[in-house]
Structure 1
Amino acid sequence: MISVVIPTFNEEENIAQCLVSLCHQTVPRSEYEIIVVDGGSKDATCEIARKYADHVFIQTSKKVGGARNDGVNAAKGGIIATTDADCILPPHWIKRIGEDFRNPALVQIYGPVYPIEEGLRNRFSLLLANTFSRIGYYSQTFYYTLGCNTAFRKEAFLKAGMYRCIDAGDDLEIAMRLKDLGSIKFDEKLKVGFSMRRYKQFGTIQSLYEWISIVSDGGESGKYSYTQKRYK
């Protein structure tokens, strides 16, 4: 089984389309579970999520990394996939993850993103982000493993120490520990529809810079206020 973990906080405008896309995968629904871990939403996020997800509960650990950890601890699957509440998952997403992990050497996979919103600027922004991911992967210098489109073996994840409960960059930092336990793969076909609202708020170059600077200093700087505000 594959367990999909989604952290949420006041996502009533986005969570339904995310979960509907997850419910319409090309593999049987019995082969994967959907877990929503909420950060104490004040809107209808949880009520909407319960219509589609297998498990919806309030996080007990701190920050977005803690929310993901809570989801992993509740997961039944040996493979954990993570995404965000404002993403849209293509119908083959779960199937692709399962196919990749037929390789026993892999401990983590991740893939590119494309913008949900229209516009040349949005496409260009994510072209830069995806190029950044490819440069890191093929040069073997870093892994831009965004939490909106990544999956890993639960056993390896637990052995690596799980996500750090830091202000941001937990989804990038974990790869630096997982790489010591096996192979990490950037799968060009593992694509996810990505909302540009955070990029619009901070800007593409600034977003990339902030994420990498947070990872390089261990996530202690707390620069990325968007994540810091959402997950206490």
Structure 2
Amino acid sequence: MISVIVPTFNEEEGVEACLQSLCDQTLPRDQYEIIVVDGNSKDKTREIAEKYADLVFIQTSKKVGGARNDGAMAAKYDILATTDADCFLPRDWLEKVLADFKKYPDASTIYGIVYPLEPGIKHKLSLLGYNIVSRLGYWTGTIYMTLGCNTAFRKDLFMEAGMYITADAGDDFEIARRMKLYGKVKLDTNLKVGFSMRRYIEFGAMKSIYQWLYIVRHGGTSEKYQYAGKEYGKK
């Protein structure tokens, strides 16, 4: 059914809540697997993850995109769903992902929107603005804001497209540029995930957005991508 990939690195403070929410889905537990790909954490992240996940291992590829790729290579199911270790997944998240792929058999990618986990009007307004831009980008076909915390793929098409690039940021936006060559990229605004604002708080919203948009614009422009010594993508 579905393989859920969660990249981690020193996430002992938030990973348990994330994995608990994944274990408490309306989809029967035997119909999905949880894969945690860890960046060699120095805290208790892996120890905590092993209580909930079906598979926990240390990544061999670079950066968060590489961790997601490693998870995809280890996945046993035909649908891949990605999220982050500091997110909260509503109980019907996986059920909605499956329903969307059934509703859109020509879709290569399904993605949703986000809401802030931290309190405060500033965070609510920030993600309200993000979700508005996400809708506008989708409706106009100019940008697909496929955040790594709330996106799912057909595994065979994801592999054929070349998987994630290994960049400092923006890899989750860039992937949609290639996935749309293999099938429709669909936004479901009812597919919502609780999103931590901690990185925006730490680095600043403007710097984070700039990094994402710069790499989406300039990164990964070739038609072929290298992963694990193999060449993927359009010929």
TM-score range, shorter chain: over 0.9
Q: How does 1:33-182 map to 2 (within 5 A)?
A: 33-102=33-102, 103-182=104-183
> Hey, what's the Cα distance between the residues in 1 that align with 2:220 and 2:72?
21
Q: Letter of the 2:184 partner, please give it.
A: S
Structure 2 alignment gaps of length 5 or more: 222-235
Deviations 1:99-139 (A, max 9, x none): 00102101101111000111101100111111111111111
State the shift of 1:214 in Å.
Answer: 1.5
* 8 Å CA contact 2:171, 2:215 repeated in 1: no
SS of the equivalent of 1:127 reads helix
199-208 vs 59-68, which deviates more?
199-208
> Hey, what's the Cα distance between the residues in 2 that align with 1:208 and 1:131?
15
Give the equivalent residue in structure 1 for 2:228: none
SS of the equivalent of 1:166 reads coil
Normalising to structure 1: TM-score of the pair? 0.92
Normalising to structure 2: TM-score of the pair? 0.91
> Hey, what's the Cα distance between the residues in 2 that align with 1:200 and 1:132?
20
SS of the equivalent of 1:117 reads coil
> Hey, what's the Cα distance between the residues in 1 that align with 2:210 and 2:53?
34
Give the equivalent residue in structure 1 for 2:190: 189
State the shift of 1:219 in Å.
Answer: 6.6
State the shift of 1:27 in Å.
Answer: 1.1
> Hey, what's the Cα distance between the residues in 2 that align with 1:213 and 1:136?
16
* 8 Å CA contact 1:169, 1:219 repeated in 2: no
SS of the equivalent of 1:84 reads coil
Task: Count residues in correspondence.
Answer: 220
> Hey, what's the Cα distance between the residues in 2 that align with 1:206 and 1:110?
24
Deviations 1:188-211 (A, max 9, x none): 110000001011123333322221
SS of the equivalent of 2:190 reads coil
Q: Letter of the 1:152 partner, please give it.
A: F
Give the equivalent residue in structure 1 for 2:218: 217
> Hey, what's the Cα distance between the residues in 1 that align with 2:115 and 2:123?
9
SS of the equivalent of 1:187 reads strand
> Hey, what's the Cα distance between the residues in 1 that align with 2:106 and 2:220?
29
Indicate the percent of aligned positions where both proteins have the same amino acid.
62
Deviations 1:23-67 (A, max 9, x none): 000110011000000000000000000000000000011111110
Answer 1 or 2: which has greater strand percent.
2
> Hey, what's the Cα distance between the residues in 1 that align with 2:206 and 2:167?
22
Provide the aligned C-alpha RMSD in A: 1.2
> Hey, what's the Cα distance between the residues in 2 that align with 1:86 and 1:66?
18
> Hey, what's the Cα distance between the residues in 1 that align with 2:66 and 2:84?
14
Give the equivalent residue in structure 2 for 1:223: none
* 8 Å CA contact 2:157, 2:179 repeated in 1: yes
State the shift of 1:14 in Å.
Answer: 0.4
> Hey, what's the Cα distance between the residues in 2 that align with 1:205 and 1:97?
31
SS of the equivalent of 1:65 reads helix
> Hey, what's the Cα distance between the residues in 2 that align with 1:63 and 1:206?
19
Deviations 1:67-110 (A, max 9, x none): 00000000011000000000000000000000001021011011
SS of the equivalent of 1:190 reads strand
SS of the equivalent of 2:5 reads strand
SS of the equivalent of 2:7 reads strand
Deviations 1:149-190 (A, max 9, x none): 000100100110111112211111111000011101110110
